Structure 1
Amino acid sequence: MDKKLTFEEIFQQNERRIHYQIHKMNIRDPHHDFFQEGLVALWNAFETYQPDKGPMATYFNYIIRNRLIDRMRHDTRQHEIHQQTVHEQHTQYTDGNYHRGTEGARPIAANHQLQLADSNLWKNLQSQLTDKQWKWVYYAIIQEMSYKTIAEQENTTVDAVKNWGRQVKKKLKDPHFRHMLSLDDKDI
């Protein structure tokens, strides 16, 4: 008599097989997500097994292992996407084009302490900066353009534009440089 096994019987006989594959691949599974994935794989393998193709145990191992690998790849991709999103949000928040305080963020150009109409100040500042540093001041401060837009316009990277800004900020913090530009009484 050829008795067909139920899935419950297959599960009882092969539950350790799932744990073995998880352990073999050094997967940490505190929430049993991978075990559940292995269980679904065991079910699929049970449903699709063809006895004339080879031993059942080999087939189960193959299906479970590959399903766990697929899950790890999926989780890794999701983690990378999340990390990229966090990085982009952090970059956008810290790109230097805004003053941040308890009242929220406001564009640098909205800082009323810096007189945008003082053309002598801007000409004097421009004469003391490199071309790239001046481009950062002009585009990021005066025109209020984003770093990404500046980078596209200047055919460079966002990191390069940020570096221009860091150089300018460093100069503006230097007391000697501020005195030379008559900025001692201005808060930039």
Structure 2
Amino acid sequence: MDNKLTFEEIFKQNERRIHYQIHKMHIRDPHQEFFQEGLVALWNAYETYQPDKGPMATYFNYMIRNRLIDRIRRDTRQNEIHQEAAHEQRTQYTDGNYHRGTEGSRPIVADQPLPLKDSSLWGNLQSQLTDKQWKWVYYVIIQEMPYKTIAEQENTTVDAVKNWGREVKKKLKDPHLRGLLSLEDYD
């Protein structure tokens, strides 16, 4: 006579064990996906249980918990892959080279190089800026130095350097200054 319980009996006795593990791991399971994983783990544990290796309840807990952890890892990895793909697609779409304004965004025309060699433009710009604002233009735009390096060199904070840049950007939006500098050609 075989005293082995059927899976239906095991399930009835251990269904709460699956819910307990889900609750203990703080898993939200509105679509019962984790419960299904736990059910499969319970089935696998039922099929592979060896009485001489330890208590059945301990083995069930171990199998269910590890199966749920595997599912969380798999979902997390899948989510990261989707996020990376979406980020890559957004990056390729926008490419970061857009003017943004009240009329919407429009691409920067790549054929027009910035006038880095136009000394009269830089001279005119420098005459319209404070010393600190000019330092920001010179170090950030012309020399392409990082903020931290500029802050160390000028014996100030990174936030101060960023503030110089905000002031420059504010001035460069002024239509009168743009006209003086003939920047309309570079829009």
After TM superposition, the score normalised by the length of structure 1 is 0.62
Q: Distance in 2 between matches of 1:10 and 1:38?
A: 13
2:85 counterpart residue number: 85
Give 2:68's aligned amino acid: L
For 2:110, give the aligned amino acid.
Answer: A
Q: Which residue of 1 aligns with 2:30?
A: 30
The yes-or-no answer on 1:52 pairing with 2:52 is yes
Instruction: Return the letter of the residue paired with 2:138.
Output: T
State the Cα distance separating 1:24 from its structure 2 match: 1.4
d(CA) in 1 for partners of 2:114, 2:59: 78
Letter in 2 for 1:43: W
User: Aligned to 1:133, which of 129, 141, 146?
Assistant: 141
CA positional deviation for 1:182: 2.3
Shift in CA distance, 11/175, structure 1 to aligned 2, threshold 3 Å: same
1:11 deviates by 1.5
- Is the Cα contact below 8 Å between 2:37 and 2:68 reproduced in 1? yes
* Partner of residue 178, structure 1: 178
CA-based RMSD of the aligned residues comes to 3.9
In 2 relative to 1, CA 178–108 (structure 1 residues): closer, same or farther, beyond 3 Å?
A: same
Distance (Å, rounded) in 2 between the aligned partners of 1:23 and 1:91: 39
RCO higher in 1 or 2 (8 Å CA, sep ≥ 6)? 1
* Compared CA separation, residues 109 and 172, structure 1 to 2 (3 A): farther
Distance 2:68 2:87 in 1: 28
Determine if contact 1:99/1:108 at 8 Å carries over to the other structure: no
* Contiguous gaps of at least 5 residues in structure 2: 126-136, 145-161
Which amino acid counterpart does residue 22 of structure 1 have in structure 2? I
Deviation at 1:91, TM superposition (A): 3.7
> TM-score when scaled to structure 2?
0.62
